[in-house]
Amino acid sequence: MKRRQFLRTAGLGGMAASVVPQLLGAEKGTTIPMVYPKGKVEHCIHIWLGGGAAHIDTWDPKAMGDAKATKKKAGSYYKAIDTAVPGVQVCEHLGRCAKLMDRMTVVRTVNHDVIDEHAAAVNRMHTGRPVSGTTVYPSLGSVVAHERGSVSEDVPAYVVIGYPSSSRAPGFLGSKAGFLYLLDTDSGPEGFKRPDGVNLNRHMRRTELLARMRKGAVAQRGKAVVADYDAAIEESLRLSGEKFMKVFDLAEEEANLRESFGGEFGQRCLLARRLIQRGVRFIEVAHNLNFVNGTGWDTHNQGQLNQHVLIEELDRAVATMILDLEKHKLLDKTLIVVGTEFGRPAAFDGGGGRGHQSTAFSIALAGGGLNHMGAYGVTDDLGKKIVENPVSVPDLFATIHCAMGIDPSKELDDGDRPVPITDMGKPIQALF
């Protein structure tokens, strides 16, 4: 008997008055089912700030501190500016996004319990759960790929541009919910390109030979044994075609638009729009490349000095992406999530930088047809403690899933073990 069947059967007997109501959080033996909102988002672009972006130096500014004094004063490193939403401020280096905050909501009270381990925090912010010794949980992108698939069979459902760590992997959902990895915007998916010495006729002969080999393998071993491998080959052949490969030709876009997005990171954001136009469902775009400020978002010690370079690059690309999606009538259909593994404390370390903080940090949402309000949740004067509206990682994931029309309480199967899509996450109702 499976666990699901056991709980259902037990619920009909004496355990119904105790176990089931407790599991559902009901009071006095009654069960009140959670009604989840259902958005109409078709795509998600997840911009990843690897290293831990300081929320008080970006989306949740506080009173100015002093990193250089002998007795360092805790506080923000940059000045705050007003935005298009009255009462909501952001860092002075987010000037372009500030004008678009009516299309955005910064969730300022995200929190978890991972502090000093980057890898564990990255995993938490990609899977929504702690690392388990018994279950390898799927990433957010893999769950979306599994539940929604790609819009077109000519493209993959899930693409990662930048950093293909295990945290992005499909876990128990298997390879069908995995991602296509792109190193950069220039090369595209190298594994899908024909070698220079293989012309179209030679490629077609190879494809015909491969088809006979696949047919023979199915006949000898049975379809079930080679199904996953056969499906992977089929998808690879589709993706290597001219129709999909053409998406990487950014020269098709107007020069002024390409320039407005900025450098490599901005070009990745432009490519993300082209990918969703072709039908890709979930795209992660990494923004920790080349360490243009010397350290990336991991701003210990001297990393604080040139953080504004990275913030300005982010501001330029995100603001241009919002306007570009709006121009193509895709903003309401696309949810932009600007995520990171944790925040940074207001106090400065010995070198004038910042340590790690997970008790409160910011994740920015844009587009997606949400009821945007500029900011949601309030932290204290140092951005360390949550004053209003805490949002757990499962709650954040539930919000994203609901926006995409996915029930966050739905159970997926890890063998014979039912695993809910989120760990009891509840969406931010005010955004719907």
Question: With contact defined as beta carbons under 8 Å apart, do 368 and 403 qualify?
Answer: yes
**DSSP class of 73:** B
pLDDT of residue 235: 66
Domain assignment present for 427: yes
Mean of the pLDDT values across residues 207-226?
75
Range of the domain at 13: 1-33
Question: With contact defined as beta carbons under 8 Å apart, do 386 and 339 qualify?
Answer: no
pLDDT category of residue 19 using cuts at 50, 70 and 90: very low
Half-sphere exposure of 335 (CA within 13 A, CB side): 31
pLDDT category of residue 169 using cuts at 50, 70 and 90: very high
Question: With contact defined as beta carbons under 8 Å apart, do 57 and 76 qualify?
Answer: yes
Nearest to 163 by CA among 147, 181, 145, 178: 181
Is 231 in the same domain as 144?
no
H helices within 16-156, ranges in order?
19-24, 95-98, 118-127, 140-148
Domain assignment present for 111: yes
Q: Supply the pTM of this predicted model.
A: 0.86
Cβ burial, residue 388 (10 Å; 0-12/13-18/19+): exposed
Is 325 in the same domain as 264?
yes
Mean of the pLDDT values across residues 233-253?
76
Question: With contact defined as beta carbons under 8 Å apart, do 343 and 56 qualify?
Answer: yes
Rounded to whole angstroms, the Cα distance separating 389 from 335 reads: 21
**What sign does the CA torsion over 170, 172, 175, 176 have?**
negative
**DSSP class of 185:** T
Mean of the pLDDT values across residues 39-55?
96
Mean of the pLDDT values across residues 175-197?
75
Is 339 in the same domain as 207?
no
pLDDT in tens, 65-106: 998 877 889 999 999 999 999 999 999 999 999 999 999 999
Domain assignment present for 58: yes
pLDDT of residue 189: 65
Mean of the pLDDT values across residues 246-259?
93
Domain assignment present for 158: yes
**DSSP class of 26:** -
pLDDT of residue 224: 65
Is 13 in the same domain as 103?
no
Mean of the pLDDT values across residues 42-46?
98
Structure token pair of residue 389: 């509206």
pLDDT category of residue 184 using cuts at 50, 70 and 90: confident
Structure token pair of residue 230: 């056969």
Is 101 in the same domain as 6?
no
Is 17 in the same domain as 45?
no
pLDDT category of residue 207 using cuts at 50, 70 and 90: confident
Question: With contact defined as beta carbons under 8 Å apart, do 44 and 337 qualify?
Answer: yes
Instruction: Check whether 408 has a pLDDT greater than 50.
Output: yes
Q: What are the DSSP calls for 351-364, one per residue?
A: TS----B-SSEEEE
Identity (one letter) of the amino acid at 317? Answer: A
Question: In CATH, what number is assigned to the domain containing residue 259?
Answer: 3.40.720.10
Is 85 in the same domain as 165?
yes
Rounded to whole angstroms, the Cα distance separating 275 from 154 reads: 11
Is 338 in the same domain as 412?
yes
Is 217 in the same domain as 310?
no
Is 258 in the same domain as 398?
yes
Query: What does DSSP say about strands 158-161 and 282-286: parallel, antiparallel, or unpaired?
Result: parallel
Is 294 in the same domain as 340?
yes
pLDDT of residue 120: 95
Question: With contact defined as beta carbons under 8 Å apart, do 107 and 363 qualify?
Answer: yes
Domain assignment present for 361: yes
pLDDT > 90 in the chain, percent: 65
H helices within 83-199, ranges in order?
95-98, 118-127, 140-148
Alpha carbon of residue 262 to chain centroid: 21
Domain assignment present for 245: no
pLDDT in tens, 101-123: 999 999 999 999 998 899 999 99
Is 150 in the same domain as 229?
no
Count other C-beta atoms under 10 Å from residue 12's C-beta.
9
**What sign does the CA torsion over 157, 163, 167, 169 have?**
positive
As a whole number, the mean pLDDT across the chain is: 87
Domain assignment present for 340: yes
Instruction: Check whether 33 has a pLDDT greater than 90.
Output: no
Measuring CA to CA, how many Å separate 291 from each of 51, 273, 303?
Answer: 11, 24, 10
Measuring CA to CA, how many Å separate 146 from each of 279, 317, 425?
Answer: 15, 29, 19
Domain assignment present for 82: yes
Measuring CA to CA, how many Å separate 430 from each of 269, 321, 377?
Answer: 28, 25, 11
Instruction: Check whether 255 has a pLDDT greater than 70.
Output: yes
Give the count of domains, the chain: 3
pLDDT of residue 244: 78
pLDDT in tens, 338-394: 999 999 999 998 888 999 999 999 999 999 999 999 999 999 999 999 999 999 999
Residue 338's DSSP bridge partners are: 47, 364
